[in-house]
Amino acid sequence: MTTTTPAVSPMDLDEKLALYRTQLALRFFEQRAYDMFLENLVKGTSHLSLGQEAIAAGVAAAMKPTDWTFATYRGHAHTLARGVPMTPVLAELLGRSNGLMAGKGGSMHLTSVEHGVMGSYAIIGAHLPIACGAAWSAQFRGTDQVAVCFFGDGSTNIGAFHEALNFAAIWKLPVVFVCENNLWMEYTRTTEVTAVENPAADRASAYGLESIMVDGNDADAVYEVAAAAIARARAGEGPSMIEAKTYRHGGHSRADPGKYRPDSEVAEWLAKDPIPRYHTRLLELGATEDQLVEIERDVVREVDLATEEAKAGGVPGEDLLMKDVWADGGSSWRN
Amino acid sequence: MAQLTFREAIARGIAQEMRRDESVVFLGEDIGAAGGVFKGTVGLLEEFGGVRVRDTPISEQAILGAAMGAAMTGLKPIAEIMFADFFAVCWDIVVNEIAKSRYMTNGQMTFPLVIRSGNGGGLRFGAQHSQSVENWAMMVPGLKVVVPSTPEDVIGLMAASIRDPDPVIFLEAKALYSTKTDVPDGEIVDTLGTAKVLRSGSNATLVALGAMVPKALKAAEELAGQGIDCTVVDVRSLVPLDTQTLLREISATGRLFTVEENPRLCGWGGELSSIVSEEIFYDLDGPIVRITTPHIPLPAADALEDMAIPSVERIVTTVSKSMNS
């Protein structure tokens, strides 16, 4: 594993306060989404990033608006972190017509092309090669765009992961892979079914990618490695792999209480919760408690407003059902 | 006008579009320096260079994933899957990602891409390099499916597929690669979703696709000698399907015979039969008959493969028997 970190200008306090706000927004949004599940307002399934917010927030802070995010079915946080407003995201979870995709995608497929969120993909590993394709397009067209592709530790044992890493390396693509290693695949500990200790980083170095390990519960650390990797990609120096160690506070999905995990392990990671950690750091850096309380209140207001607006959304109409299979807007397969 | 083989027509069609549109790029295994394992892409690397014509590793998911990511961000990729059987190792990217993403995102994304592939049997390659997979592709919402049967159609339909804003599965019958016909000079652009009437008759309508088209034409000649006058329609495009032409031509004779290379179950002829039964049942003068490869993996031995894939003889016998019963 190597780390050649180009100089990344450190964040000032205002930028760090913004990073704190993003983390809180992701946390409070998903807590609200979970509450709405319990009220049976959110249908289907959902995969929360509670506990992993520092990764989505830290990487997004290092991206330009024109860069691309490729997320997984655990994609609420990544979508919001790119600046997509809460209301359409929550409305999408509720299956309302004011949803991000008018209810046609749902929790696992959040997409907002205008914000550079190029899809949330629910087949493990599939989006790694797709992110390579976007990166290839940027390289071909000579733009300075970078594709950032998030995935979990469980994705590292599927073929598409390996095909994509090799592909990115041989074409020297401007892509940054970010493995959110939360230690548990779905219900099985990743190390129990994986031949190496660091499932993404160890493999990536074998493919010649710049390979970086980072504390995924430290938003500043995540930001710094992401900024460096993105800068390298933008400069034409090729792909990187960031493996960010983290932990999900809840189960794999809505239906999973996560009871397979030892209590002591859960407690250990709850103590490393990225948000209280960042709160403490900001106070040490000179932020005031009042400032932080005001940020918290502001986020609560945003979540409350999004909740009202999402609930007020209409039910998608039949007109949407047969729309947009094809680029002409329709779904006709015959004349 | 020049004589052109089916395989040469592929390169000509791609080159025509790459000259016209800088955003058309081409990737696949052995397509560049080697000119394609079937020599269908000879000369493209030399003309367009290694940035637009790129050899890839044997990584079908990466090839199609890259095509998808490039298409959603402004390029018009053509990707090759060497043998259509290999779609099975990257089918997720085709059906779950490419085909569904426009709908799932409420139209936020567009995928102007073409996946071309060598399809079907007749080359004694055995079961894993010979299957006709047009029925796999046809059943997936969000994919267009095009199957040319002549060099001229290869060029025209390739151009139409590349210009189309939706994902197109372009299946090239391997058994036709060496066929040669006259092809007009200059630009050729066809229209997707148009079947072609190749022969008009009054007794029966043979509807065929890909490598079955020349066989159906040959069979029609022999049947004419027996006094059975057949219409032959080349479907050319399974999605969109030109049901107007097909229903008109089937109504006109009152009899439908499909000639399909795909294995029997859920072959495209089954869908066509269903449409015919629902919409022009009372125009029929006799049962619909499907002439297909049996529901088996294709054997390698020439003798066995020839028994499996519909032959001119089998078409003639089947039509003749049914028309005279």
ipTM for this model: 0.96
State which of B152, B183, B214 marks the end of a domain.
B183
Range of the structural domain that residue B89 is part of = 2-183
- Chain segment B82-125, per-residue pLDDT in tens: 999 999 999 999 999 999 999 999 999 999 999 999 999 999 99
- Give me the residue from B61, B106, B110 closest to A129, CB to CB: B61
pLDDT of residue A1: 43
Do B46 and B160 share a domain, yes or no?
yes
Measured over the CA atoms of residue B73, residue B74, residue B75 and residue B78, the dihedral's sign is positive
CATH number at residue A166: 3.40.50.970
Domains contained in chain A, number = 1
User: A2 pLDDT band (50/70/90 cuts)?
Assistant: very low
Rounded distance between C-alpha atoms, residue A25 and residue A79, angstroms: 12
Q: Is residue A55 part of a domain?
A: yes
On the question of pLDDT at A112 being above 50, the answer is: yes
CATH number at residue B222: 3.40.50.920
Cβ separation B104–A105 shorter than 8 A: yes
Amino acid identity of residue A80, one-letter, is: L
Cβ separation B69–A104 shorter than 8 A: no
- Mutation target among A320, A324, A331, A332 for the B interface, most CBs of B within 10 A: A324
Contact B65, A129 (CB under 8 A): yes
On the question of pLDDT at A9 being above 90, the answer is: no
Residue in A with minimal Cα distance to B60: A163
Do B70 and B129 share a domain, yes or no?
yes
Cβ separation A140–B69 shorter than 8 A: no
Low-confidence residues in chain B, pLDDT < 70? none
Name the nearest CA neighbour of A230 among A81, A59, A66. A59
Query: What secondary structure, in 3-state letters, does A171-233 show?
Result: CCCCEEEEEEECCECCCCEHHHHCCCCCCCHHHHHHCCCEEEEEECCCHHHHHHHHHHHHHHH
A138 touches chain B (CB under 8 A): yes
On the question of pLDDT at A324 being above 70, the answer is: yes
Q: Is residue B190 part of a domain?
A: no
User: How far B320 CA sits from the closest chain A CA (Å)?
Assistant: 31
pLDDT of residue A3: 47
B140 touches chain A (CB under 8 A): no
Do B133 and B220 share a domain, yes or no?
no
Range of the structural domain that residue A116 is part of = 26-250+259-306
- Mutation target among B56, B63, B108 for the A interface, most CBs of A within 10 A: B108
User: A44 pLDDT band (50/70/90 cuts)?
Assistant: confident
pLDDT of residue A7: 65
B193 touches chain A (CB under 8 A): yes
Contacts of A68 in chain B (CB under 8 A): 73
* Residues of B carrying an active site annotation: 129
**Rounded average pLDDT over A286-302:** 98
Q: Is residue B13 part of a domain?
A: yes
Q: Is residue A287 part of a domain?
A: yes
Contacts of B59 in chain A (CB under 8 A): 129, 163, 166-167
Domains contained in chain B, number = 2
